[in-house]
Structure 1
Amino acid sequence: MRILLLGGTAFLSHATATEAVRRGHEVTCLARGTAPAPEGVRFARGDRDEAGGLAPVREQRWDAVIDVSRQPGQVRRAVAELDTPHWVFVSTANVYAPPEEGATSRPPTEADPLLEPLEADSMSSMEEYGPAKVACEQAVVSEMGRRGGTATLVRAGLIAGPGDGSGRVGYWPWRFAHPTGPDVLVPDDPDFPVAFVDVRDLAAWLVDAAEQRLDGAFNATGPVVPLTQVLDAAREVAGAQVTARPVPPARLAELGVHPWMGPRSMPLWIDDPALRSFAALDTTRARGAGLQTRPVVDTLRDTLAWEETRQTPRGAGLGDDEEREIRRALDSGA
């Protein structure tokens, strides 16, 4: 197949390009060139925010296009200008509208209501991420339907694995491998539901979707497991001799520790009951179409190996000094 990857030089798109080349496909990546393309990939330089940014790939016919953009204007232009019978669009679980107040919490299915689409061509902040992806989805479905083509909408959950700059998953094995004291501080919420998909598994399934021309929307993430299982696996792959020290959520809040991501945080965990199933998705449809995910411990082991070579600051968790400070406060009762 002749596959065009809009991106292809970072994390998921890099893994997807690598997998497609491994299978023997002819792969071209259109990107700005801020990072090198994978070996075996033809690189085409283009900035999708600029007029004529698609020129290097516009006059060719592609068996499939794989697109990871979050900007509706980029997607609208690309799907209108590029010649292909099939489009694979990487969307997000953030497209789903929140459940009505009082509704029973459950993982969303592909039939659940979506947020209102963003009308603008570009996001003004990350608060518009979900609506922007809805607008991208609608542009792809509308144009591919008009021309008689097919489209795979991949509503991905949290993506983890080697190369994940956010550090949301990688923080835990790294912290157990580099403790700042006799224990590692963790949220006292062992049953909190966690789900993530290894970037390599998602990449493989994106190529499957292109090969099979899967049509429609598919939720894609890993199985839901309790937070304690993730922490146990992190401790295992780190070969750590320290224990986990659970800290009550209210105490974490008092000490200025944030949930989920970002500086001074406890990654993968949210203290808002309304968001308790935030990471969970019903993936029945995708698994029926071939999505396979590896064990959590395997992802954590490989992520730790990558974290040990990290060249950029981690975007989540507690810094060494922060964990020591919080431990002193806990020990003193301050």
Structure 2
Amino acid sequence: MRRILILGGTAWLGRATAAAAVASGADVVCLARGEAGSVAPGARLVRADRRSPHAYDALDGEWDDVVELSWDPGFVASGLDALADRAAHWTLVSSVSVYARSDVPFADENAELVEPDDLSQYPDAKVHAERLTSARLGERALLARAGLIVGPGDPTDRFGYWPARFARGGRVLTPETNGRFVQGIDVDDLAAWIERAGRRGVSGPINAVGEEYPMAAVLAAAKDASGEDGEMVPLDDPTLEAGGVQHWMGPRSLPLWLPSAARGFSRRSDAAFVASEGRRRPLSETMRRTLDDERTRGLDRPRLAGLTPAEEAEVLAGSTRP
């Protein structure tokens, strides 16, 4: 039986990866504090604080794959020190944020990376983690550069904002979508690929990204999933920016809306991912799954990304649109 160790495994992608590994018939262990949630059914939790020098003491034997989710430099280094020599394969979940430029569509894994000058910054820390992992594991290491992850359970509220917003009905404020794209990968599709890639010994850097869709198609899919007939009210960038609306994520934002200079961020090359047996479900299915989850969590709940109803009304009222 394959033995898979997930460093983390109780939060969103980690838990989905554990579930995929269990479904494949593997013996799955998750090393975590256990504060972010429970492990997937069939997986075993080893409680540990990775800040402790004894964090890995309870882990014995060899591992067919170790999946590292953290970007914390100390955690990455200590995990490698404790386990690299006992791992047949190592998967570092990295990010497309490692790339120095976001303005070039269809850039592949050979694109220039940021220099890791400030390890308190996410892109720098991920590049640092990649270099540590590659230096220690060589051809046994997969650097899974994940793009936008979407689907049920998303803690960022980026993707789910849109089907939830359409489901509430009424006039829906959107950015202008011409020339804009979205490249989200369903969390369960990414998790299934991580399990398969580890089993097959896939190595090197790979952009683990979703299919590229025009933003207009993503908004249309969100509207279709909701079953509501709300009117979309697109505003141009200067109007949104004058109204204090932020790009991409976070409070007072329109999620997935990127500035023109970053439009290549959602158009990364997926050729290596597809070649390594990356599979992605239809957008409509992910949207339905996401909306079901949003309804369960509450359409009107406070969110980490998007506009509140009051903020949306304020921006619409301040625009020149009737």
Shorter chain as denominator, the TM-score bin is: over 0.9
Question: Does 2:175 match 1:187?
Answer: yes
Mapped contact 2:252–2:311 kept (Cα < 8 A)? yes
Q: Which residue does 2:289 correspond to in 1?
A: 302
1:158 paired with 2:148, answer yes
- State the shift of 1:301 in Å: 0.9
How does 1:154-233 map onto structure 2 within 5 Å? 154-179=144-169, 181=170, 183-233=171-221
Deviates more, 1:221-230 or 1:306-315: 306-315
Structure 2 counterpart of 1:193, one-letter code: F
Structure 2, unmatched stretches of 5+, are none
Are 1:98 and 2:114 matched, yes or no? no
Match for residue 131 of structure 2?
138
Q: What one-letter code is carried by the residue in structure 2 that aligns with 1:242?
A: G
Kindly provide the CA deviation profile for residues 40-72 of structure 1, in whole angstroms up to 9, marking residues without a partner as x.
111100111222111121x32111101111112
- How far does the alpha carbon of each residue in 1:291-315 deviate from its partner, in whole angstroms, 9 at most, with x for none? 0111111111101111112277321
With over 3 angstroms needed to count, the CA separation of the structure-2 counterparts of 1:270 and 1:332, relative to structure 1, is closer
**How far does residue 193 in structure 1 lie from its aligned partner after superposition?**
1.5
What CA distance in whole angstroms lies between the structure 1 residues aligned with 2:296 and 2:52? Answer: 34
Q: Deviations over 1:164-202 (max 9, x none)?
A: 0111110000000013x3x10100233301111100000
| Structure 2 residue aligned with 1:72 | 73
1:99-126 CA-partner distances (Å, limit 9, x unpaired): 7xxxx8222211112111357xxx43xx
Q: Which one-letter code corresponds to 2:126 in the other structure?
A: K
CA-CA distance at 1:330 after TM superposition: 3.0
Matched residue of 2:207: which SS?
strand
Q: In structure 2, the residue corresponding to 1:204 is in which secondary structure? A: helix
| Matched-pair contact (CA < 8 Å) for 1:85–1:144 | no
SS of alignment partner, residue 41 of structure 2:
coil
Are residue 49 (structure 1) and residue 48 (structure 2) matched?
no
Identity level (%): 40
Contact 1:194–1:226 (CA<8 Å) still a contact in 2? Answer: yes
- Whichever residue aligns with residue 177 of structure 2, its letter is D
User: What's the CA shift string for 1:194-221, capped at 9, x where partnerless?
Assistant: 1111000000000011100111111111
Deviation at 1:320, TM superposition (A): 1.2
Which letter maps to 1:252? Answer: L
Equivalent runs, 1:99-138 vs 2, <5 Å = 105-118=104-117, 123-124=119-120, 128-138=121-131
- Kept after mapping to 2: 8 A contact 1:166/1:315: yes
Tell whether the 8 Å contact from 2:115 to 2:127 is kept in structure 1 after alignment. yes
Aligned to 2:268: 281
Deviation at 1:332, TM superposition (A): 7.9
> Mind listing any 5+ residue stretches in structure 1 that lack a counterpart?
none
Which residue among 248, 269, 273 is the counterpart of 1:260?
A: 248
- 1:330 aligns to what? 319
Q: Check conservation: 1:45, 1:56, Cα contact below 8 A.
A: no
CA distance in 2, matches of 1:314, 1:190: 27
Q: Distance in 1 between matches of 2:109 and 2:321?
A: 49
Task: Please report how far the alpha carbon of residue 5 of structure 1 lies from its aligned counterpart in structure 2 after TM superposition.
Answer: 0.5
For 1:74 and 1:307, locate their aligned partners in 2 and report how far apart those are by CA, in whole Å: 32
3-state DSSP of counterpart to 1:263: coil
| Paired residue type of 2:290 | T
Relative distance call for 1:313 and 1:60 in structure 2 (3 A) is: farther
Q: 1:293 pairs with 280, 291, 304, which one?
A: 280
2:209–2:273 Cα contact (<8 Å) kept: no
Cα RMSD after superposing both structures: 1.7
Specify the SS of the correspondent of 1:240. coil
